[in-house]
Chain A
Amino acid sequence: MLPGTRACSGCGLSLAYRHILKALGEKTILTIPASCLTVLHGLYPSTSVGLTNINTAFATTAASATGIAAGLKALGKTDYTVVGIAGDGGTFDIGIQALSAAAERNTDFLYICYDNEGYMNTGTQRSSATPMGAFTTTTPGTKFEHKKDILAIMEAHGIPYMASASPAYPLDLYDKVVKAKNINGTRFMHINIPCSPGWGFPTDDLVELGKLAVDTAMWVLLEIENGVLRLTGRSRSMARSGKKKPVSQYLKLQGRFKHVTPEQIDYLQGWIDKRWQRFLQRHELSEET
């Protein structure tokens, strides 16, 4: 990735993308749908990304990756990693049909969802990945529904590898991309992307927020391989120490949660705690085996 992309300054996606592309290496063909990432890639005839990319329509990331993989296979070009990268809107919402189908066929590609928890490219509308309590331009009061559990959905497809990661923990992220790259079949990665204009925080707080998301277990670093869930990195040490920060610390740094009521915070905290418990149980099981 070259300097001078068209993403906002202090963009969590730029940070994550730098590590992702490094981990992927040259023998990679990307495909991306309409999103902030399209903008980051630049305007014709220049691009800030040094890998070949096939832009594709909003709903089609996984189908496009399927086509690339099939085309390369038919032509005997088997040494490429095919990678589809889409936002949460392109994954949780409009692209989920094609993604589910590709995963069901266990198509040989890596799917990366970068999750900035809203339709940011079109001006911060809600997606089904927007957390409960957040302000967006289409939830001007608050969002009442919890974030869709995309990991559970993808896990139900029985794919060989899944992981979630954060650019605030770049080594963990890098290692997971390298690992995913070397596995056959459909691999799914879910990456937390703090977004300053969409979430309402000063760009300086980018890494701080990424870390707080993990420290509060709003975001959990994990891997699921052949049905076995393991916490990794910071989430793993949290499991060991038993320490987890209250979600209010994370919420108060962001404009989008300015209007949440104490009841909503409790409700969200309850949701996080339950989910965290489930992850802990599964993690402990994996440690025993």
Chain B
Amino acid sequence: MGAKLCRVQVIAAYPITPQSKIPETLVKYVDSGELEAEFIRVESEHSALTVCISASTVGARVFTATAANGLAYMHEQLHWAAGARLPIVMALANRGLGAPWTIFNDMQDSISQRDTGWMQVYCRDNQEIMDSMIMAYKICEQLHVPMMVCFDGFVLSHTVMPVEIPDQKQVDAFLPPYVPHLQVDGPEPININPVMLAGPRANAQGVFCPSYMGFRMRLQEALESAGDVILEVGREFGEVFGRSYECLLWQYRTEGADTILLTMGSLANEASLAADALREKGCKAGVVSLRIFRPFPAEPLRQALSGAKHVVIFDKNISYGNEGATCTETKAALFEGGLQPTITNFIVGLGGKNIVATDLEAATEEALKRRVQINGPQWIGVAV
């Protein structure tokens, strides 16, 4: 639906639970003529993203959607898309990875792809998915960087919530047609993404052109500047549609809080309920939920955590042999700010393991009881 409002021109996707509904819905729009787009029924996710890459290179607005093993199968092309600086938007229904098989939700899939150069936004509810899709194209096309719009598989992908559908005319005004930065049918032939050397080389006019590393640096610079663009687009979105996204992270009752529950995605909703319950018991708890994971919002996070004595981090992913990814990244951000709250990391909800407010509340209380830094992640919900 969000993709339709954005008037995407080429869609390529391969079925995987719980994403399958997305391409199935879009193909109906295309077949009925409601959406003027090419829908390519590819044979794999690797090809799905490749089709998007090449279609985007020639100037089309493109869309794909996947989950779990499908995303892992795209890995080579995730790097390619970002390296080629293409504004591709992908919907990602977060799901755990095999082996062993699970079709249910966690964030191992997208977290495993955090170093591919894609921006990542995590949605709390279905309204946010729709809104994030529309903003994503505007952000990506400004920065020439691709983005994953991540949302919890089944938790959000298969639940019905009332969603306000933006008006097509307003979307059109907010998101004008895509103007590519390369002209494949221009007067001069171009060799796009050729072999590069480590050092700069001169072109036919004797002008030195960037090296491989120079291009890598430019991609990093684009992501460093992405925070401001995301804020600006989020503000503009609020002006037009009445729902502002002028933030890189969400905060709930953080004012005066000394204990912060840190989450991402739909878990933020449960965390907010947990904070309410904790507050009632006299514990000054609040919630910080990362909306944007790449680029990592280190500065806003430092600010949000500046008054915290205890930070309890819930990760639906794990970097095996270390800890949850948001925990590591939060620690790094705090270190740079010289902040030293106690940090407890809980690994939760892997493979769809149900996790509710009372679990988060109990975990936070346990962390507070110890009142010391606990090294290594704690697991919730593993009986055996």
> Hey, which bits of chain A sit against chain B, CB under 8 A?
29, 31, 38-39, 41-47, 49-57, 59-60, 62-68, 70-75, 77, 80, 97-98, 100-101, 104-105
B38 on interface, CB distance cutoff 8 Å: yes
- B194 and A63 within 8 A (CB): no
- By a CB distance below 8 angstroms, the chain A residues around B184 are 29, 52, 54
In the bound complex, CA of A100 to CA of B204 (Å): 40
A67 lies within 8 A of B12 (CB): yes
Stretch at the interface among B57-65, B153-161, B244-252, B351-359: B57-65
Give the contacting residue for B194; candidates A42, A50, A97; CB below 8 A.
A42
Dominant SS among interface residues on chain A: mixed
Q: A57-B50, A71-B10 are in contact. Are A41 and B191 (CB under 8 A)?
A: yes
> Digit string of B30-41 for contact with A (CB within 8 Å is 1, else 0)?
000000111011
**Docked CA distance A57–B81 (Å):** 11
CB-nearest residue of chain B relative to A38?
B195
| Contact among B55, B201, B202, B203 for A67, CB-based, below 8 A | B55
User: Within 8 Å CB of B344, what residues of A?
Assistant: none
* Residues on B with beta carbons closer than 8 Å to the beta carbon of A98: 43-44, 46-47, 50
Distance between B336 CB and nearest chain A CB, rounded to angstroms: 36
- Bound together, the chains give a CA A166 to CA B384 distance in angstroms of 65
Contact A43 B201 (CB under 8 A): yes
Chain A neighbourhood of B203, CB < 8 A = 45-46
Instruction: Give CA–CA (A49, B195) in the complex, Å.
Output: 14
Known contacts A31-B54, A52-B190: does B42 contact A101 (CB below 8 Å)? yes
CB distance from B47 to the nearest CB of A (A): 4
Contacting residue for B192 out of A53, A57, A60, A70, CB 8 A: A53
22 chain-A/chain-B pairs, Cβ below 8 angstroms: A29-B58, A29-B184, A38-B194, A39-B195, A44-B195, A44-B209, A45-B203, A46-B204, A52-B185, A53-B190, A54-B192, A57-B50, A57-B76, A63-B47, A67-B50, A71-B58, A74-B38, A75-B60, A80-B185, A97-B44, A101-B42, A105-B41
Residue numbers in B under 8 Å from A42 (CB-CB): 191, 194-195
How far, in Å, is A94 (CB) from chain B's closest CB? 10
Complex CA gap A189/B121 in Å reads 44
Chain B interface, number of residues (Cβ within 8 angstroms): 44
Q: State in angstroms the CA–CA spacing of A51 and B192 once bound together.
A: 11
Known contacts A44-B209, A70-B10; is-contact A75 B201 (Cβ 8 Å):
no
Q: How far is the CA of A71 from the CA of B11 in the complex (A)?
A: 10
Residues of B within 8 A of A55 (CB): 191-194
> Which residues of chain A have C-beta atoms less than 8 A from B58's C-beta?
29, 54, 67-68, 71-72, 75, 77
Q: Tell which of A29, A50, A65, A67 touches B52, judged by Cβ atoms closer than 8 Å.
A: A67
Instruction: Report the Cα distance A208→B331, complex, angstroms.
Output: 68
Instruction: Tell whether A43 pairs with B38 under 8 Å between CB atoms, given A64-B50, A67-B51.
Output: no
Q: Which residue of A is nearest B61, CB measured? A: A74
B51 engages A70 (CB within 8 Å) = yes
- Interface pairs A-B: 6 shortest CB-CB: A67-B54, A71-B55, A101-B43, A63-B47, A63-B50, A67-B51
- Given A44-B195, A53-B192, residue A66 in contact with residue B57 (CB < 8 A): no
Give the residue name and chain of the A residue nearest to B207 (CB).
Answer: A45
B56 neighbours in A (Cβ, 8 Å):
67, 71
Is the pair B195, A43 in contact by a Cβ cutoff of 8 Å? yes
Distance from A246 Cβ to chain B, minimum over Cβ atoms (Å): 42
A57 to B202, CA, bound (A): 25
Question: Which residues of chain B are near A70, meaning CB under 8 Å?
Answer: 10, 12, 38, 40, 51, 55, 60
Shortest Cβ gap from A89 to chain B (Å): 16
- Chain A residues with Cβ under 8 A from B59's Cβ? 71, 75
A73 CA / B36 CA spacing, docked (Å): 11
Report if B332 contacts A (CB, 8 A).
no
Residues of chain A within 8 A (CB-CB) of B52 are 67
**B194 and A67 form a contact (CB under 8 A):** no
Complex alpha-carbon distance, A104 and B44, angstroms = 14
Residues from chain B with Cβ under 8 Å of A62 in the complex? 47
What is the CA–CA distance of A41 and B209 in the complex, to the nearest angstrom? Answer: 17
A65 to B54, CA, bound (A): 7
User: Can you name the residue of chain B whose Cβ is closest to the Cβ of A62?
Assistant: B47
Residue on B with the closest CB to A51? Answer: B189
Q: How far is the CA of A73 from the CA of B201 in the complex (A)?
A: 36
Alpha-carbon separation in the docked complex, A55 to B80 (Å):
10
Q: Are A66 and B191 in touch, CB under 8 angstroms?
A: no
Query: How far apart sit A47 and B194, CA to CA, in the bound complex (Å)?
Result: 9
Taking CB atoms, residues of chain B closer than 8 Å to A77 are: 58, 185
Most chain B C-beta atoms within 10 Å of own C-beta, residue among A56, A59, A74: A74
> A45-B202, A57-B76, A97-B44 known; 8 other A-B pairs, CB under 8 Å?
A39-B195, A53-B191, A55-B194, A57-B50, A67-B55, A71-B58, A71-B60, A71-B62
One of A44, A71, A74, A104 near B57 (C-beta < 8 A): A71
Give the residue of B50, B62, B193, B201 whose beta carbon is less than 8 angstroms from that of A45.
Answer: B201
Which residue of B10, B46, B54, B197 has the most chain A CB atoms within 10 A of its CB atom?
B54
Q: Which residue of B lies closest to A70 (CB)?
A: B38
- The distance in angstroms between the C-alpha atoms of A100 and B43, with both chains bound, is 9
Of chain A, the residue at the smallest CB distance from B36 is: A74
Give bound CA distance, A31 to B40, whole Å.
Answer: 18
Determine which residue in B9, B190, B191 has the highest number of CB atoms from chain A within 10 A of its CB, and name it: B191
Determine the chain B residues whose CB is within 8 A of the CB of A43 once the complex forms: 194-197, 201
Q: Which of B36, B50, B196, B204 has the most CB of A within 10 A?
A: B50
- In the bound assembly, the distance between CA atoms of A104 and B57 in angstroms comes to 24
Assembly CA distance A70 to B54 (angstroms): 9
Which of A39, A42, A75 is most buried by chain B, counting CB atoms within 10 A of its CB? A75
Q: Which of B54, B76, B194 contacts A66 (CB 8 A)?
A: B54
**Distance between B348 CB and nearest chain A CB, rounded to angstroms:** 36
